[in-house]
Amino acid sequence: MANKSKQRFPDEANEHFTYESAEKLLDNMEHLQQMIEQHKKVQRPRLQTLQNYFKGNNETILKDNRRREEHLADNRAVHNFARYVSTFIQGYMVGIPLKTIHDDEDVSERIRDMNRINDADEHNSELVLDQSIYGRAYELLYRGTDDEYHFTHVDVLNTFVIYDETVERKSIAGVRYFKSKYSDEETILLYTDEKNLKLGYEDGSKLQIVEPQTDEERQREINNFQGIPIIEYENNKFRQGDFEDVLALIDMYDGAQSDLANYSQDLNDAMLKIIGNLDLEVEEAKEMKKNNIIFLKTEPNADGRESTANADYIYKQYDVQGSESYKTRIANDIHLFTATPNLSDENFAGNMSGEVMKYKLFLMEQKRAAKERRFKRALRERYRLISNMMKTASEGEIDVSKLNITFTENLPKNIEAEMKWFTDAGGQLSQKTMISQLSFIENADEEIEQLEEEEKQRPINQPQYDFEEHQHQNSQEHEEVTGDGE
């Protein structure tokens, strides 16, 4: 008889939902109902487990009946490696906000306004965090009552996308389901490329479309994005979270630390062992123990000689040094397989330059490059769908092929050393180039325009600041100090 697999999650817990077309799906609502039930019973438990580990509620160490003896210590040491991994990756990728620039300046300005309205920096950061935790993230596009385009983060635990069965794997529908906190009524929303439908259960069992009752509901039902307004951001090909494959190692580390804590506590309650033929009453022994002292008064043995006596404690012997080496090895493996640095490593100096840090983060760089490609693809889909609605409303369009999306890894940089080398070599930079290198400046042209506007408003009798002249003077002063001037 074959052994059952001991993998934590079944393969079905992370598979894509596929169907022939949205039209066929609407004609077979029972199949959509099966997908929703499978998501609830098979996929959602995996997502919930990953969320629990990120929150520090490590499931294996916190489950009941870890120790059989009720009188012994039962410490449950939880180590939040999951949060460390995902938070590090989130900060590394989007700690410096990504830049979205279009070749057409007017379109760039429109995108910047849209991003400001939606707080895109925070939104993108949340998407990257969800990707890292769950292996996937979702956003919902809509046009608000303010006639502005909006994109918002939606909960991974109750959202999924359905794809067609072709090799192109195009999305044909998106699903969200949720219950009210104050009733058992469940709301199900189905998004297609034409309509946003509300679904309900007939007689509490059969899924069906809920027809709109008012003109406002009919208007909201129309989808002008000409595509599925729920966009999925995948973390990798397998939609696996960044700490998902080290959950067993996290459990092992928690177990080792908990056992060490239990050993230390049990040692305080060790059993006293007394060997010898003693003339000692029970109450007298209790009083000695209470006063933390023991008198061993022996009795003569059978041949009249005085017997010997000894007292010590009985406790489980524990290899503390071996346990520490074991935990260190597990912790190093967690960092290795998640491609994150061990900041507690003595060799990980705090004064490393950005270039040296890159060598220690080489594997993380490979992961980041793959994650960025998938994120950019989904990001272009966001602006493509918004462009579709803009064209329908005669508000222009966004050519996503001319969209430049730039990620900047969040590493310490020695800009001063780079600039010194460059100026020592006689190099000069334009003001636009220098401004564009600043991480807190999103658009260099816009900043230069603001500088020019400030110069126009400067009082006439106040001298203007000449950037190129100032740069030239600094170069001359440097030559005089180093003796390179004539």
- Which helix (H) or strand (E) segment holds residue 104: the answer is none
DSSP 17: E
Are the C-beta atoms of 434 and 428 separated by less than 8 Å? no
Smallest CA-to-CA distance from 95 within 439, 442, 443 is with 439
Instruction: Give the position of tokens 């995108």.
Output: 111
Strands 136-143 and 96-102: unpaired
Quick one: pLDDT at residue 295?
67
Summarize pLDDT for 416-473 with one digit per residue, the tens.
666 777 777 877 778 777 777 776 777 788 888 888 888 888 776 655 555 455 555 5
Residue 482 has pLDDT above 60, yes or no: no
Quick one: pLDDT at residue 124?
96
Q: Choose the weakest-confidence range: 69-83, 178-192, 281-295, 349-363.
A: 349-363
Confidence band of 271 (pLDDT split at 50, 70, 90): low
Are the C-beta atoms of 189 and 198 separated by less than 8 Å? yes
Confidence band of 361 (pLDDT split at 50, 70, 90): confident
Confidence band of 476 (pLDDT split at 50, 70, 90): low
pTM for this model (two decimals)? 0.78
DSSP 237: T
Summarize pLDDT for 295-344 with one digit per residue, the tens.
666 666 667 676 677 777 666 666 778 888 999 999 999 999 999 988 77
DSSP bridge pairs for 151: 141
Comparing 266 with 148, which gets the higher pLDDT? 148
Comparing 251 with 308, which gets the higher pLDDT? 251
Confidence band of 95 (pLDDT split at 50, 70, 90): very high
Comparing 212 with 97, which gets the higher pLDDT? 97
Which structure tokens are listed for 202? 């007939």
Residue 190 CB burial class (10 angstroms; 0-12, 13-18, ≥19): buried
Confidence band of 32 (pLDDT split at 50, 70, 90): very high
Measured in whole angstroms, how far is the alpha carbon of residue 263 from the centre of its chain?
A: 35
**Distance between CA atoms of residues 421 and 4, nearest Å:** 63
**Distance between CA atoms of residues 253 and 247, nearest Å:** 10
Smallest CA-to-CA distance from 383 within 370, 368, 369, 396 is with 396
Comparing 150 with 145, which gets the higher pLDDT? 150
Residue 117 has pLDDT above 90, yes or no: yes
Quick one: pLDDT at residue 45?
97
Rounded-to-10 torsion of CA 360, 364, 366, 368: -140
**Distance between CA atoms of residues 162 and 32, nearest Å:** 10
Smallest CA-to-CA distance from 133 within 76, 88, 178, 78 is with 88
pLDDT, mean over the chain = 84
Smallest CA-to-CA distance from 171 within 191, 157, 186 is with 191
Confidence band of 481 (pLDDT split at 50, 70, 90): very low
Mean pLDDT of the 15-41 span:
95
Residue 351 has pLDDT above 90, yes or no: no
Residue 292 has pLDDT above 60, yes or no: yes
**Distance between CA atoms of residues 275 and 309, nearest Å:** 5
* DSSP of 141-204: EEE-TTS-EEEEEE-GGGEEEEE-SSTT--EEEEEEEEE-TTSS-EEEEEE-SSBEEEEEEETT
* DSSP of 399-414: -GGGEEEEEE------
Residue 57 CB burial class (10 angstroms; 0-12, 13-18, ≥19): middle
**Distance between CA atoms of residues 82 and 79, nearest Å:** 8
- Which helix (H) or strand (E) segment holds residue 314: the answer is strand 310-314
Residue 130 has pLDDT above 80, yes or no: yes
